[in-house]
Structure 1
């Protein structure tokens, strides 16, 4: 069932340059661009997750401007895209919110630019999502990615996009767009509108 997909952009816990756990900064661009991709692919909700109040306030300011203030009149399509955005302090809060909305906990799907064992292909994951009635939550890490501890809590892990490339450092905005396109083909978008 392709109408129960959620996405979370994680700013904590994520890996720092040296493999330590850090909180990364929210960027205005990630909020806007990922929201536009999510709206295009009819993602049910896009959560920006940060444990830092000042970073969550950035998300609030972006949303207030584009949903409540001048931005709503100035660019209605940008405003519409941002209606899918929600903010949360922790991954657990996202899971609880989806459970509240759907009446069941989501299937957690880990994404990474790094290789790992037991990673599903996009075709395998798409087939699983289509055949399931559960909500699905795709987790995307910022900074240097999500820690292994998060992967251990997930139900599935997706294969990396370009693991064998001599340069493998896509922006998270690009990775979200490519992964959603691989999971939700153009020919399946009509199915989601029902």
Structure 2
């Protein structure tokens, strides 16, 4: 359902380099750039999920400047993008928010730089998104990837962007733009 696609950038729970669950740091660029991609493709919401109050405050500071302050006058298109951002502490809060908004459980996809069995191709996922009557939520991981508990609640895994490459370390904001374009593209008709 192209009218209700949402993306969530997960900073917790994600994996650290050693494979343990950690909270990763929010970056100003990820907040801005993924919001701009979300607005360009008419996504409904962009959730930034971090359980750390100090990291939530980083996002609030960015949002206040661009939505409630001088940034709004300086660059209204940035304001429009950042108005899509919602801060959540935990994934469960995102899911509950979507259920309250729509009355439906979202169709959940996760992304990974690693090839996994039974991953959907972008063409298969795009077809599913266009025909479902459920809201769609795409989880994007930070650090060294999403924790297994996130993968387990998802309905589908998406194939890696460049599974056959000898270098597969895109920034999350670049990966988000590619993934969203492959899944949404241009609306037909």
TM-score normalised by the shorter chain: which range applies? over 0.9
Answering whether residue 168 of structure 2 is matched by residue 184 of structure 1, we say: no
- Give the structure 2 partner of residue 5 of structure 1: 5
> What TM-score do the two structures reach when normalised by structure 2?
0.98
- Give the structure 2 partner of residue 109 of structure 1: 109
RMSD between superposed Cα atoms in Å = 0.9
Q: How far, CA to CA, are the matches of 1:103 and 1:152 in structure 2? A: 22
Cα deviations by residue, 1:61-81 (Å, 9 ceiling, x for unpaired): 111110001110011111111
- Give the structure 2 partner of residue 90 of structure 1: 90
Give 3-state SS (helix, strand or coil) of 2:94's partner.
Answer: helix
- Give the structure 1 partner of residue 137 of structure 2: 137
Number of residues paired by the alignment? 189
Answering whether residue 18 of structure 2 is matched by residue 25 of structure 1, we say: no
Answering whether residue 87 of structure 2 is matched by residue 80 of structure 1, we say: no
- Give the structure 1 partner of residue 165 of structure 2: 165
Answering whether residue 41 of structure 2 is matched by residue 41 of structure 1, we say: yes
Alpha-carbon offset, residue 120 of structure 1:
0.2
Poorly superposed stretches of 4+, deviation over 4 Å: none
Alpha-carbon offset, residue 118 of structure 1:
0.7
Cα deviations by residue, 1:15-63 (Å, 9 ceiling, x for unpaired): 1011111000010100000000000000100000000011011111111
Q: How far, CA to CA, are the matches of 1:75 and 1:26 in structure 2? A: 22
> What residue ranges of structure 2 are gaps of 5+ in the alignment?
none
- Give the structure 2 partner of residue 146 of structure 1: 146
> What residue ranges of structure 1 are gaps of 5+ in the alignment?
none
Alpha-carbon offset, residue 148 of structure 1:
2.2
